[in-house]
Structure 1
Amino acid sequence: MRFSSFNVPYQIEPNYSKKVAYFSMEFAIHQPLKIYSGGLGFLSGSHLRSAYELRQNLIGIGILWKYGYYDQARNQDQTLQVTWMEKQYSFLEDTGIKFQISIHDHPVWVKVFYLNPETFKSAPLFLLSTDLPENDYVSQTITHRLYDANVATKVAQFILLGVGGAKLLDEINYNPDLYHLNEAHGISAGFYLYQKYGKNLDEVKKRMVFTTHTPEEAGNEKHDIYLCQKMSYFCGLSLEEVRALTGIQDDQFNHSLVALRFAHIANGVSQLHGHVSRAMWERYTGICPIKSITNAQNWRYWSDKQLYRFMEEGNDHGWDDRKTYLKRRAFEIVADQTGKLFNPDVFTIVWARRFAGYKRSEMITRDQARFTALLQNPKYPVQIIWAGKPYPMDYPAINDFNHLVHMSKAHKNMAVLIGYELGLSKRLKQAADLWLNNPRVPREASGTSGMTAAMNGAANFSTDDGWIPEFVNHGNNGFVIPKADYAHMNTQEQDEYDLNMLYKLLEEQVLPLYYENRDTWRQVVKNGMRDVRYQFESNRMAHEYYEILYKG
């Protein structure tokens, strides 16, 4: 294929003719391509799949991570071990494109790979790598590890995505109408474009749109502005010019704040998150409007089509049989990893996503007496599975993971799995009767894992955060812990309230419904399957990006 004057290699739908380049640090498109860590990647992967299905004029720009995020293994005592395995991808095409960008006042070679749309049925994706012999070793390591813990390396990664991605678009003569930043990691592209368009910020603004994913200011990436300057982040601009351009007067370069000032429009990733973001940034000047486009997941990739077919036919026997089969198949993975034999007839709770403190992975275990009683209840038997990958340097989250591993040794119906990526994620959603999600409100921007759980016959049970307020109708298509007056509670009070409500609803409503009124239980799950398909399918989301973010 020729890349000198690139166009999307399929017929574009006229409604989606505007040319968009979509920048993201991670893309979870398919299990074999391990260049993602969690929700941000799951979102961008579904976005690219839907852009392909809708025939949109959109291409992805990302980074080819040599060692991925990391590989989750186990130590001798079953606790988490972080390993780094080199990845090989025969299905990626070497474009033959090589160019240089400046990082740390030093020329760094960038090589470009291409994921053909037909390989995994996704929009075209270009992946940048610095892992080539022309570079010194330090430059090669820029694309070794996703979200590298070394601050200078991380800043270099941001430069590669932003400046390298924008330069690539010039190399292939794609000339996008819009540069869409999925999170602020690629905002260095703004400085590249500022130089390209004769230092005219209006020219940058009219081409840039931004999706923010972080519902609290402390969670947004900030780096020392002098380090950024030293790393060539600002494409040759002096610090005085940078300060005048960005409005940043202190020594912390806030990537999200600059993205909100360089873009002409932005969006949060749920209705609630849009509201939280507008409130969070309103005290700053020069912020672009922040809309809401709720995250979604790709139905064609994620859903179990047989469950949907039986649901549409009204074949309850077929539906039950299929769900039992999906559980049994997933439990083979549980047995293989842990030596525990789970029963497909037993109510199965799954908590699986990225381990992070605010997501409270181990919350249900905090009341030891109630947790033990739950696992030993002869009337309403329960099985529970955890999985997820903490950030490899997030020691409190790793400690939570290991705590659960040690606790699971005392219970034959409690398992903690490793290797939580796309493949295992789908299997665990098929294994779940109840998809447990208990982030501390309002810290979850969207939290999309429950969408794909619903697509596989699991009921959502969540705190009222992220996308959940738009979806769950309690007792009808899922279950939700009602909000308390969290603003007037400290963290401990909030956690205690949520934990008590979790057990109350589980013991008094959820378990009796599953075991004593299976027809109603099945209907709740089916309602969730139906509602998620129409409201939270990523074709709707990809369409809304064109209608809301790309229109102006």
Structure 2
Amino acid sequence: MTSKYYHWYHPYKPSAPFKKKVAYFSMEFGIHQALKIYSGGLGFLAGSHMLSAFELKQNVIGIGMLWKYGYYDQSRNKDQTLRPDFVEKHYNFLEDSGHEVEVSIFGNTAVKVRAMVLKPEIFGSVPIYLLTTNLEGNDDLSRSIMNHLYDSNELTRICQNIVLGIGGAKLVQALGGADIYHLNEGHALPAFYYLRNQGVGKESMAFTTHTPEMAGNVERDAYALNDSGFFGRRLSEEELMQETGGSHRLSYTVAALRMANRTNAVSKLHAKVSREMWKGHAGSSKIFPITNAQNQKFWQDEDLQKARKANNIKAFQKRKAHLKQDLFRTVLDQTGKLFDPEVLTIVWARRFAGYKRADLLLHDMERFEKLLSNTERPVQIIWAGKPYPKDMGGIGVFDRLVHFTKYRHNTAVLTGYEMALSKLLKAGSDIWLNTPRITREASGTSGMTAAMNGSVNLSINDGWVPEFAKDGKNCFVLPEADSKSPVEEQDVFDSRNLYDWLENKVLPLYYDTPGKWSDIVFKGMDDVLAAFTSERMARQYYEELYK
């Protein structure tokens, strides 16, 4: 029997404002803990978008990749340091869509790409088509393209771009075509080239840029891309130089900016930074913000929200204590440490990238040890997050924290930072700590879902935070360092302020004036729901990006 997902299909009639057919391409989707095809924030964002698109009855489908080993499973060596494990994944809830297309990769003109589909009734998302080359009939090299999300091999990454971009575009055409092809970051850039070759106009192409980090904006050797089939056909030398602006390297972001009809950044500050960053390139001056957001229904604890709606502080505190105990059972299981639900609990949890500064609290050990040993106003601190599996700098920071926390009763580093642990940490924390070097966090959404669960943001004023923050009223915001000063000076400046804010504002408020603390908690919940749910974001995409 032919799957109903053989054609463009939704289990509802699309709502009138959202009838335009949109195909949303993303390297990763964080839809559910059980579907391990995500690494972190980009996937969490894409997943929340797909959940809200379903709730709003939007005419959207997702196009992604079915990774054989996912990102990686985060385990420990004998001494508790980080060990990346790669375990084969299988999902019996995915259905064969009935579609198979072929792409040309590095001279292999018949690499098969099959589309599995995540049906809406499984996790409450719009249909998401997941591509795989791990098929009988493909050679081992072609099958291995799907092994690892963000494979460290550059040529494999190019192959992944082609499968997602060209394979995905061919699939969408087989489903009946789309009005808008939306690239979530530049990973699927070959889709734009393929569509252009097919005569699809610029008005059908939309792009979201996600990072102000140059390292996160992919550049590849133009000749390798041409040999690979990246452009959908072989370009002449003249055409190749035209695409690269006379360089021998192609910037995915610059190319997408030029080819897209409209491009959004992921916060107001990020839009400003991006326009300056890409100044002089076609499309750069028109970058506008659609601030990232997260799905309330998925991320917010329902009982906390009920207590907030009833303005019932006692019920809220009772539920919060219960959620802290849920988190602390994981702390006990992983580290053998008993945490106390009455103690202020600080969580730092996100990707272990250098600019995010997981170890900023360790900058002045004398002050930090004083903070940790304070018995009148005690603290508990938890770190969690995944470095890239071959990022030795990020792994080094993670391992340093493991060794630092190992024999201290009120500090812990947790492994397995995926969607389930993320929910536990956000619901079970009192303070959500965010410490990037300023202007280098494009948006950051973990603080949004933390605030939804009554965790107060203590943050650098970067990314989405300037749009939300009312210091001392709905969160705590640190003074701004000079982003142009040497990083060592920024780290000294930010660490001093972080200790000051904890010692003189956060801890006294939590322990000495619990009524005022509750006011900040509730104000944070109210303000984040007013502007930072993915329902708002999904609407804004239609109203501003797809028009």
Q: Give the structure-1-normalised TM-score.
A: 0.97
Show the counterpart of 1:140.
143
Show the counterpart of 1:460.
457
CA distance in 1, matches of 2:34, 2:57: 24
CA distance in 1, matches of 2:481, 2:154: 38
CA distance in 1, matches of 2:91, 2:478: 44
Matching of residues 423-502 of structure 1 within 5 Å: 423-487=420-484, 489-502=485-498
Per-residue deviation, 1:241: 5.4
CA distance 1:10–1:245, change in 2 (3 Å): farther
Per-residue deviation, 1:485: 3.0
Per-residue deviation, 1:247: 4.7
Alignment check: 8 A CA contact 1:264 1:288 kept: no
CA distance in 2, matches of 1:151, 1:486: 31
Show the counterpart of 1:76.
78
Alignment check: 8 A CA contact 1:229 1:239 kept: no
CA distance in 2, matches of 1:520, 1:413: 25
Per-residue deviation, 1:4: 3.9
Per-residue deviation, 1:246: 2.5
Q: In structure 1, what residue type is equivalent to 2:463?
A: G
Decide which of 524, 538, 542 is 2:538's aligned counterpart.
542
CA distance in 2, matches of 1:495, 1:314: 39
Matching of residues 269-284 of structure 1 within 5 Å: 269-284=266-281
Matching of residues 375-394 of structure 1 within 5 Å: 375-394=372-391
Matching of residues 250-289 of structure 1 within 5 Å: 250-285=247-282, 287=284, 289=286
Alignment check: 8 A CA contact 1:117 1:124 kept: yes
Secondary structure, in 3 states, of the residue corresponding to 1:89? coil
Q: Give the structure-2-normalised TM-score.
A: 0.98
CA distance in 2, matches of 1:486, 1:192: 39
Q: Structure 1 residue runs of 4+, over 6 Å off?
A: none
Show the counterpart of 2:223.
226
Show the counterpart of 1:51.
53
Decide which of 100, 103, 111 is 1:101's aligned counterpart.
103
Per-residue deviation, 1:287: 4.3
Per-residue deviation, 1:423: 0.3
Q: In structure 2, what residue type is equivalent to 1:310?
A: A
Show the counterpart of 1:42.
44
Alignment check: 8 A CA contact 2:97 2:115 kept: yes
Q: Provide the identity percentage.
A: 51
Alignment check: 8 A CA contact 2:402 2:413 kept: yes
Q: In structure 1, what residue type is equivalent to 2:526?
A: R
Alignment check: 8 A CA contact 1:266 1:288 kept: no
Secondary structure, in 3 states, of the residue corresponding to 1:65? coil
Show the counterpart of 1:170.
173
Secondary structure, in 3 states, of the residue corresponding to 2:201? helix
Decide which of 64, 85, 100 is 1:62's aligned counterpart.
64
Q: In structure 2, what residue type is equivalent to 1:517?
A: T
Decide which of 511, 514, 521 is 1:518's aligned counterpart.
514
Alignment check: 8 A CA contact 2:241 2:248 kept: no
2:336 aligned with 1:336:
no
Segments of 5+ residues of structure 1 without an aligned counterpart are 198-202
Q: In structure 1, what residue type is equivalent to 2:147?
A: H
Alignment check: 8 A CA contact 2:5 2:117 kept: no
Per-residue deviation, 1:2: 2.8
CA distance in 1, matches of 2:459, 2:374: 22
Secondary structure, in 3 states, of the residue corresponding to 1:379? coil
Deviations 1:208-251 (A, max 9, x none): 00000011434310011111111111111314354365253111
CA distance in 1, matches of 2:360, 2:236: 46
Secondary structure, in 3 states, of the residue corresponding to 1:206? helix
Show the counterpart of 1:200.
none
2:296 aligned with 1:299:
yes
Over aligned residue pairs, what C-alpha RMSD do you find?
A: 1.2
Aligned residue pairs total 544
Show the counterpart of 2:319.
322
Decide which of 16, 21, 29 is 2:23's aligned counterpart.
21
Decide which of 116, 119, 128 is 2:131's aligned counterpart.
128
Deviations 1:420-440 (A, max 9, x none): 000000001111100000000
